[in-house]
Structure 1
Amino acid sequence: MGNNVRAKKHLGQHFLRDESIAKDIAQTLTHNGYKNVLEIGPGTGMLTKYLIEESSNIVAMELDRDSVAYLIKTYNVENLQILEADFLKEDLQDYFGTEQFAITGNFPYNISTQIVFKMLEIKEQVPEFTGMFQKEVAQRICASEGNKTYGILSVLTQAFYDAEYLFTVPPTVFDPPPKVDSGVLRLTRKANLKLDCSEKMLRKVVKTAFQQRRKTLRNSLKSFELSDNIKEDPIFGKRPEQLNVAQFIALTKILEADAISNND
């Protein structure tokens, strides 16, 4: 590579060293309906190199000062802006205004779920999200009901995005190699982001249900003070992992209506 950038453990860095995999990840973006791309954690630019070829406007956010200096020196091109910045703390409208942008990257494992939750907060601007996670996290995001990895992250992501697990990446192509396999996914935003219930209430219901995932919803949702007449609904006899996204939305509507009638 000809660079002196070393992976830093506290930043969860594992630098990808395989050109063909980097190219494959860059090509997970479809560029449908957007021209801007945000890359999180470019490291030494292995993915950045291919994004430059595919995308017309890229913002790359990197926390590591050594990596930033190396990237600026190596990739001095018009369609790339390199920033020393923390995605989790940035207001993305500072860079993209109200325009649509995709997010991609080889995400640091230690903050990968936080990255997804932050993306969900700005979903109106993010039509597509692709990238590499620890394999089990990628599988969890894409899992469907009935799967033991299906949980909070699966439901809240899939309420707004279609999730596809694309391919697995072995530890051997990284420096240093992580102790686990990695997985690459693609999230494609649904055409209609409007839920049939309160988004805030859905989050609360899903999180409360999965905190006691082995219990039936009748037991795990006791804190919602269910009225006797709705406790008999068959949905409350199920466990959270048995419900798909549409059923969680239906459940949330039942609880919203119940809360209103309880207050009457």
Structure 2
Amino acid sequence: MPLDGQLIGFLGGGVMAESLIGGLIKNGIVKPEKIFVSDPDEERLQLLKEKTGIKTVADNLQLTQSAQLLIIAVKPQVISEVLADIKQNIKAEHSVISFVAGISTDYIESYLGGTPVVRVMTNTACLVSEGASALCGGKYAESKHIDIAKTIFSSVGKVVTVKEELLDAVTGLSGSGPAYMYVILEALIDAGVRVGLPRKVATALTTQTMLGAAKMVLETGEHPGRLKDMVITPGGTTSAGMYALEDGGLRVTLMNAVMAATEQSKQMSKGPK
């Protein structure tokens, strides 16, 4: 297994870090005592320690002394400060995985030199082990570093590898995608209530319908358009609903959302000011 014997250090103990830690432990990939976390919020660290059994450290420098694999899980606004903080302690045995939105491997390497860096774009569905993650390696990352990142993020969902220039598109599609899905879910639930269903019933039916539709695509391998056509009958209820969706420009609106988020990610990828 790629992670055999590795000590893992999380720089940042937020919700996404917690989801990864939970996935690693739950799937038996890493034992809790081999995971270290640093975070400026002492209460957060204590909570993680009590909840997962991992070890906590006082600061980022101590983390670099405790672990070889460093997972950067901080906000983009503080990445420069974090990298400047740890660069003096980076050794040849260290490697880095970053899932800081919009921060390129080149930017991290500009601080950490020849350290192997793998960049990952994931999403909040990691919290329920249904994340969608895309990753790429920096100029010093080898196949073993990619395999380690795949192992880690496979513990909380599906993983694909892409070229780094496509990670902005990944951010616009699946990184931001859960928010789009929630808006669609909310609208369908409200519509169910509007036509007379109790909200609890509308919520149950809508969420299961979205889950089932996604599962149909994944498990059948059919094109979504073909699966859509299988539901529609001439002059039927679904054809009437589809006409309303097309008339309202749903497709174009969703495409525009992905493109807008992708463009924003490109701007962020230029690095912190």
TM-score greater than 0.5 by the shorter chain: no
Larger fraction in helix: 2
TM-score (norm 2): 0.37
Larger fraction in strand: 1
TM-score (norm 1): 0.38
